[in-house]
Amino acid sequence: MRHAHTVEQVRAAEAALMATLPDGVLMQRAAAGLAYAVVDLLGGAYGRRIVLLVGPGDNGGDALYAGVLLARRGAQVEAWLVAEQAHGVGTQALRAAGGRVLRLADGVPDTQGRHRPDVVVDGIVGIGGRPGLRSPAPDALAALDGVPLVAVDTPSGVDVDTGELDGPHVRADVTVTFGTHKVAHLVDPAAAAAGAVHLVDIGLALPPAAVTALQQEDVAALVPRPEPAAHKYTRGVVGVRAGSSRYPGAALLCVAGADTGLVGMVRYVGEDDVAARVRQTHPEVVGEGRVQAWAVGSGGGERAGEALDDALADGVPVVVDADALAHVDGPLPVPAVLTPHAGELAAMTGADRADIEARPLHHARAAAEQYDATVLLKGRHTLVARRDGEVRVTTSGTPWLATAGAGDVLTGLVGALLAAGLDPWDAASAGSWLHGAAATLAARGGPLVAGEVARALPVLLRAVVDER
């Protein structure tokens, strides 16, 4: 599992560790990890031209000491100081190793032609910095546009604890972070600016994190397995109330997401013509009866409110999607997973959609508290929030997953995990990870449609189950 700690937690852990180490050791550990990552990116250091963008904080010091190590390997290293103050000892060490130090107060150097660097290292602002960058940093970044960029700890200019953006910021190809992930590495929109994140262990002892991301081994531990004496009812029965005559495909896709073998039985309840199409495509699916969880709302149209009421009357957990979300005006009487995208959450809460997209972590947490439910806020990095403020971020998936009907498959899948015995938070976060991973498997780097995600799920699940 990836754990994303706050700035306060990291600072406290660093202070505790530094109290046990000689001065400068922690920075040297970070600098070594950074230098190795740059060498790995470039395929070597000798003869390479490297520009360090250096601010006044510890990240600037990390960049300078990494520059020392790179210069000793034969790289041509320049440090561009974006502030009046910089790490003095680090600056002196870089000069002693043969590096150059330039102050941007004298103007941004010409980087065209033969002077173009091979890589830029962003050490402008540390994790304690505020969002947005001040001059001359944006001018330096503009002059270096198109050069591969490695960020130190987090991309400068992002809000580290929220993942929010406010003003100019770095967009990195690689971010080298130390000790633990930070929230901005996982939560959009800042996560989209971090590129590939490389974690360097520097020996921090950290408390539990409120923001995490499941990995395959975590999902493998959560996926329910049948007991030796299991039968179809003990494995769980999930009911699906989705689709309509106008949107019959939503029913087929939601049932396909539920009908992956995770439960012993899938029941479908809906309009007769839609039910006939479901039975034709999924002959193992049956009609009304007792269930352990409901998946409701996908393509439900005008009857979605009625379908939600009927599901709630059974007193079992429910996953609520699409049209049924419009009928949720407060906490539900059963354990629930709500699965809105930003537009649907805006309609539910009255918040502005653009603000939800700019501050998804804030809004997912607020909605989980408002509705006393697990809220699965869909996005590039889907957030699964529960009432106590803990959030799991889904980092599996592919941009090709942004396709019609994909959410219907997810609703059925989460419903099946609920029926199989997972609590709402585990069902939503494991289901979201499986959904994204199945899309990656189905896409193979190219386009896909929602039905292919559903068909990939049993293949993926076999691999996940075999892992444990």
Q: Is 341 annotated as a binding residue?
A: yes
In this structure, are residues 266 and 293 in contact, taking their beta carbons and an 8 Å threshold? no
Q: Is 382 annotated as a binding residue?
A: yes
Name the residue among 333, 334, 383 with its Cα closest to residue 357: 383
Q: Is 60 annotated as a binding residue?
A: yes
**pLDDT tens track for 358-381:** 999 999 999 999 999 999 999 999
In this structure, are residues 96 and 124 in contact, taking their beta carbons and an 8 Å threshold? no
Q: HEC profile for the chain?
A: CEEEECHHHHHHHHHHHHCCCCCCHHHHHHHHHHHHHHHHHHCCCCCCEEEEEECCCHHHHHHHHHHHHHHHCCCEEEEEECCCCCCHHHHHHHHHCCCEEEEHHHCCCCCCHHHCCCEEEEECCCCCCCCCCCCCHHHHHHHCCCCCEEEECCCCCECCCCCCECCCCCCCCEEEEECCEEHHHHCCCHHHHCCEEEEECCCCCCCCCCEEECCHHHHHHHCCCCCCCCCCCCCCEEEEECCCCCCHHHHHHHHHHHCCCCCCEEEECCCHHHHHHHHHHCCCCECCCCCCEEEECCCCHHHHHHHHHHHHCCCCCEEECHHHHHHCCCCCCCCEEECCCHHHHHHHHCCCHHHHHHCHHHHHHHHHHHHCCEEEECCCCCEEECCCCCEEECCCCCHHHCCCCHHHHHHHHHHHHHHCCCCHHHHHHHHHHHHHHHHHHHHCCCCCCHHHHHHHHHHHHHHHHHHC
Is residue 438 predicted with pLDDT exceeding 70?
yes
Q: Is 169 annotated as a binding residue?
A: no
Instruction: Give CATH 3.40.50.10260 domain extents, the chain.
Output: 2-212
Is residue 111 predicted with pLDDT exceeding 80?
no
In this structure, are residues 5 and 209 in contact, taking their beta carbons and an 8 Å threshold? yes
**pLDDT tens track for 218-256:** 999 999 999 999 999 999 999 999 999 999 999 999 999
Q: Is 379 annotated as a binding residue?
A: yes
Q: Is 218 annotated as a binding residue?
A: no
DSSP bridge pairs for 267: 239, 286
Note the pLDDT of residue 467. 67
Is residue 114 predicted with pLDDT exceeding 70?
no
Q: Is 159 annotated as a binding residue?
A: no
Q: Is 153 annotated as a binding residue?
A: yes
The CATH code of domain 2-212 reads: 3.40.50.10260
Tell me the pLDDT band of 45, cut-offs 50, 70 and 90: very high
Under CATH, domain 216-467 is a member of which superfamily? Ribokinase (3.40.1190.20)
Q: Is 426 annotated as a binding residue?
A: no
Note the pLDDT of residue 370. 98
Note the pLDDT of residue 90. 95
- The pTM for the full model equals 0.95
In this structure, are residues 64 and 52 in contact, taking their beta carbons and an 8 Å threshold? yes
Q: Is 61 annotated as a binding residue?
A: yes
Is residue 85 predicted with pLDDT exceeding 90?
no
Q: Is 128 annotated as a binding residue?
A: yes
Instruction: Give CATH 3.40.1190.20 domain extents, the chain.
Output: 216-467
Tell me the pLDDT band of 466, cut-offs 50, 70 and 90: confident
Note the pLDDT of residue 93. 96
Q: Is 131 annotated as a binding residue?
A: yes
